Chain A
């Protein structure tokens, strides 16, 4: 008899969600996490005495179904309210988006914005049902697989001819083309493109998946508006951890899995357990890796246990992160010129070309001359993250290469950090005097401290060739893998990253089939 029915590797939100579903259906589940706390990229940790924050700082698409299924409200999670997205302007003429309203732009842009948002919402509704579904592989399909394809086709048809044609036209369009044909305000164009670009190696002029990423963000409760729950990001993670434990599963932190134990028999290979750093083996019927796919296959499974073509497809997955984090411990609330309260999500990207040029710098391994970023003040939602009256500023900074030319030296880190703070100071002039401590995490740092290959937002780039039945690659896109008993459940699977829970939910569904 095995020690457990299932072992989940990695206690990111997807690992926790998968474990909770399995435990609730009566499985004996063990979750093993390498770092000293749960939550993965959404874990809240202290970065300066008394100051805490998390890498992922806002939620825009967490699945309400999962929250219901796992009773997260009884465990202390209440979805936050939609935040405004503020396009910062040095002179204080900000453009502000909230729901279907916009301020700070002319009447033409306002009218276009309302129409645009409605259109995008219709398209997003088409995609929505598939985020909590396994995308069937191509060929040899079961009835339910075919039903999924049929449902996709039907959803598209229901859009009506014009909408459907328009969706297909814009699907892989560069953000810039879409924005230029609709809007005048540079700041508005940046704001509306932002969610399609962040977390990926894409700029406004790149064709590929920007529009799909925008639509994907809009799947959430507030049509893409970000939110921070009342108790902060931590309230989601601790509710998930509680749900896991309440269902009878066990979570062990500071327990990195060294290797997945793979046994060979007449029928082929199967995963039968995990090997810990001290050599100890824990066995289980099913091993679910909620660590990223590259790490899972290349490090934990090992190429010896994989076929050659498959290995090379995994090796070639795009997985270099381009988002860095700046965390500031502040003595007071920063004052942004012309902004009543910094309680929204503030974006510094005055126009699309500023984003484009930042990308150009990073594309060749350099630091952006003019970094673009999204900022929130998490302490405004959850005061416990800092001592009384003091605050935390959290910024996602783009584009910062994982592989910096010349390497990530302390000097390079400092240079970027100063440049980012200088940029913020142009909008919040007094901020330097408020800084008690600053921390910059490059994608390289994130990869190291969070055990995520490339430090990538989505584990593997969310891009047309790594999407749906190709995510992370065929033969591993239905949460199963070529190795029997081994499953995937991380952001590297369909429907992708961000705090939404789709991969964990879908993986559990496949495992329990």
Chain B
């Protein structure tokens, strides 16, 4: 008789790609995401990062939450929930969206895939069924299905990705434009490919039913062998997305429904997501609060900083004087960027001090000794990393 596992409910789930990923996780460097065992890195985060930038690499997005929303009310429901105009989204296109509470504080961001006239997929970082239940109340012709455990997703990013997919036999994949979706027969089912990602570079996301996940992995790794294919984990993702200027929950923003302290969450305006808030739309959640916010201006603004020196300004406070007595904000994410060759950071700064000097007080360790320095920061308007190849259609061949 087998002994029952007293910790059964506590153990992390395995992603459908787990057998392959476990074999490649040389360092056993696991963390978790939404209850699924998840690689922090496989061998070396920097190496994986360079694969994203120079060849191609895969990132497991199975633990991301995916909801299929279908029915004749699906579009209306989503359109009311998110700040962007969903009615403009065409079939087989993806759009990046955020959604807010009544008070205009950001609940989460994610993407909406339009799969058919009345069929959408919503993806987001955190489980959102409770929120969706609130959003769907009052809509009769609509079903929401949590497909997080039945649809496997593999993000495939880097300059050689298109070439690999061509080699895998995905006909005309080079014609797929950013935020487009294509479908291909695959094994006993089908493969959906969207030209999306979280690295600011050329890349795709591959979606199959979970029973086809390993077959997809094998086909992709076969095709990618000569193109330097490599899995990457959370650490490398975080580097790539910071260079691209993408925000991360728990770093740049705190999900409003999980925030305890008043205004420790953010509005889209604070996060520089003004372009997602479509006031031409008369109805969306948080609209009246956001209208006031737009007129008054956000209290904080998320900015990109180029910081002198090479010490990452992780967790630094920002000041408007070099003596560091007048605090104006804080760094949310920071790193030395190998591609840009700069010490970069995302930071929240009180909007009213935006035109002024910004100094970061950086703490760092050198052989067990704590040091600090004050570094001058320069405001950057553009994303640190946005190469033309990210958007080129067809992508350049290799």
Contacts and interface: CB of A to CB of B under 8 A. Distances in A.
B135 interface: yes
A475 to B, nearest CB: 8
B282 A311 contact: no
A493 to B, nearest CB: 20
Contacts of B279: 266
B291 A268 contact: yes
Given A264-B283, A309-B102, A482 B137 contact: no
18 contacts: A263-B282, A264-B283, A266-B279, A268-B288, A268-B291, A269-B282, A269-B283, A304-B80, A304-B138, A307-B285, A307-B288, A308-B81, A308-B102, A309-B102, A311-B134, A312-B137, A315-B137, A482-B288
Q: Which 8 A-B pairs have the closest CB atoms?
A: A264-B282, A303-B138, A309-B102, A307-B102, A308-B285, A312-B134, A268-B288, A307-B285
Contacts of B286: 307
B66 interface: no
Contacts of B288: 268, 307, 482
Interface of B: 76, 80-81, 101-102, 134-135, 137-139, 279, 281-283, 285-288, 291
B291 A303 contact: no
Contacts of A266: 279
A389 interface: no
B282 A310 contact: no
A298 B138 CA distance: 7
A232 B137 CA distance: 43
A267 B283 contact: no
A305 interface: yes
A302 B138 contact: yes
B258 to A, nearest CB: 15
Interface string A288-312: 0000000000100011110111111
Contacts of B80: 303-304, 308
Nearest to B99: A308
A265 interface: yes
Contact of B102 (A263, A268, A310): A310
A298 B287 CA distance: 19
Nearest to A298: B138
Contacts of A302: 138
A265 B102 contact: no
B291 A267 contact: yes
Contacts of A308: 80-81, 101-102, 134-135, 285
A474 to B, nearest CB: 11
Contact of B137 (A268, A269, A305, A311): A311
B141 to A, nearest CB: 13
A16 to B, nearest CB: 30
A147 B303 CA distance: 45
A477 to B, nearest CB: 15
The listed residue with most B CB atoms (<10 A of its CB), out of A263, A264, A269, A303, is A303
Given A268-B288, A315-B138, 9 more contacts: A264-B283, A267-B291, A302-B138, A303-B138, A304-B80, A307-B287, A308-B81, A308-B101, A309-B102
